[in-house]
Amino acid sequence: MEHGTFSDQSKSTFSFADEDHTFANSVRFTLNQDPRVTFCGYSIPHPSDNRVNIRVQTTGDPAREVLKDGCQDLMLMCQHVRSTFDKAVIDFKIAEAKKEKEKETVDEDEDMDSKTVDEDTDSNMDSE
- For 7-96, list the strands marked E by DSSP: 11-17, 37-43, 51-58
pLDDT of residue 98: 92
Strands 2-4 and 51-58: unpaired
Average pLDDT by stretches of 10, the chain with 128 residues: 76 95 96 98 93 96 97 98 98 94 77 61 57
Report how far residue 49's alpha carbon sits from residue 92's, in angstroms, rounded to the nearest whole number: 41
- Which positions ≥6 away from 25 have C-beta within 8 Å? 42
Model pLDDT, residue 119: 59
Q: What is the pLDDT of residue 4?
A: 65
Number of Cβ within a 10 Å radius of residue 31: 25
Q: Is the pTM of this model over 0.85?
A: no
Is 54 within 8 Å of 21 (Cβ atoms)? no
pLDDT given for residue 120 in this prediction: 58
